Amino acid sequence: MTERCSTLSQDEPLIGTAPRARAWLVLEQPGPYGFRALTDSHLPERVRAALGALPKDSGTTVLLARPVGRHADTHDEAGSRRFWFAHSYAGGVRMRTGRLDDADLLRPDLADTLAAAADGPLPAWGAGTREPLLLICTNSRRDICCALNGRPVAEALAADPAYAHRVLEVSHLGGHRFSPTALLLPWGHCFGRLDAGSARAVLDAADQGRLAPLHHHRGRASASQPAQVAAHAVRLTEGIDGLDDLDALRRVGDRAVPAGLRWQGDDDGVAEVEVRHRDGRSWHVVVRRTTLAPARPESCGKAPIEPHVWRADPPVTVPGWS
C-alpha cells in the first residue's frame, strides 16, 4: 500500500501553508461532496451552476459545511440554508450568520458582493457574531487523509457539549498532507496536524482572544506565505498570542506597503516583511524560500514534488509605526 501524503510530509513545516483569502462565505449543505464540492454536491442545480461560475480571484473563498456525523441527505430544495460570512483581514475582523435564501446566491451581483467582502464590507445578511467557529476538513473525495484524520477530530468535538455547536465539517481547505486541517473563523487562522485535544485548545484560546497552540498554526489566510511566516516568527520571539494583534506588510526600500495575498516582490527567494503590532511596535523580518527534499506528493495520488518552504531570519526591532 502506498504511504499517504500526510505520513510522507511529517517533516514539512506547517507555517506558511495556509490557504489565502481575505473573506470566507460558508454555506451549510448536508450530504456528500465531490472533488469540487461547490459543483459536485446536492445543492440545487442552479445554485451549483452559479457558484461554479464565480471568479477564483475575488479574495473571498466559498466553502460548503455540514454538521458533524451521519445525517440524512434529503436533497433539500427548501430554498434557504445556514451561512457564515467572515472578513478576516487584520484590524477589520467581522462575521455575520443566519439563514440565506438561495435566491441571494443567484443574484447577478454575487461576484461583486464577494469582491467587496474581501475589501471589508459584508452584505446585510443575518446578524453579526464573534463566536469562534472551527471548520475541520473531512472531504475524502479531495484526499483520503482528510477523512481518515479529520473526521475523528470533528467527531470528538461534536460529542462534547462544550464544543459541539462550534465545529463543522468543511469541504476543502487545501494542504491535505497536513491533515487534520482546520480554519478558525472569523479571524481566518488555519491549523494542521490537529488532534482532539489541540482542536479544543484552539477554541479555548479563541474564547480568550488568543491564538494557540502555535505549533499547530499554518498561518493567517489573509496574508501571503512570506508574511504568514514573518508574523509567526514575531509571535514566537516576542510571546505575542493575540488573535488580531499583528499585521504584515511588504518592505520596499524604506517603505512598507500592503503585501497582498500573493507575494509581489522580486522572485529571488527572499522576502522582506515589516510586521506591525496594534500597539505600535514593529519588526523587520527577512524570509527565505528553500526547497525541501526528498520529493513527496502534495496530495494522495499526485506525483512527488520537492516543496518550497519559507523560513524566517530572527526578527529585528525597528522604529514603531504609530
20/215 Cα distance (integer angstroms): 19
Residue 247 CB partners (closer than 8 Å, separation 6+): 90, 91, 231, 275, 276, 278
The predicted pLDDT at position 38 comes to 85
pTM of the model: 0.95
| 8 Å CB contact between 60 and 25 | yes
Nearest to 165 by CA among 193, 129, 138: 129
What average pLDDT does this structure show over 221-238? 97
Cell of 268: 529571488
Q: Please give the share of the chain, as a percent, with pLDDT higher than 70.
A: 95
Q: What is the DSSP string of 173-207?
A: -S-GGG-S-EEEETTTEEE-S--HHHHHHHHHHHH
Cell of 267: 522572485
149/196 Cα distance (integer angstroms): 11
The predicted pLDDT at position 284 comes to 97
Q: Quick check: bond before 186 cis, omega within 30?
A: yes
pLDDT band at 246 (very low <50, low <70, confident <90, very high): very high
Q: Please give the share of the chain, as a percent, with pLDDT higher than 90.
A: 68
Strands (E), the chain: 23-28, 60-66, 80-87, 94-101, 127-128, 133-137, 167-170, 182-185, 189-191, 217-220, 246-252, 255-258, 270-277, 282-291, 308-312, 316-318
Question: How do beta strands 60-66 and 167-170 pair?
Answer: antiparallel
Angle at 139 between CA 133 and CA 140, to 5 degrees: 155
- In the chain, where the domains are located: 223-318
**How long a stretch of residues is the chain?**
322
Strands (E), 10-162: 23-28, 60-66, 80-87, 94-101, 127-128, 133-137
Look at 91-95, 144-148, 154-158, 177-181 and tell me which has the smallest mean pLDDT: 144-148
The predicted pLDDT at position 295 comes to 87
The predicted pLDDT at position 39 comes to 85
Question: For the CA atoms of the chain, what is the radius of gyration?
Answer: 19
Out of 132-136, 148-152, 176-180, 288-292, the most confident range is 132-136
pLDDT band at 19 (very low <50, low <70, confident <90, very high): very high
Per-residue pLDDT at 172 exceeds 90: no
What are residue 276's DSSP bridge partners?
247, 282
Collapsing DSSP states into helix, strand and coil, what is residue 49?
A: helix
62/83 Cα distance (integer angstroms): 10
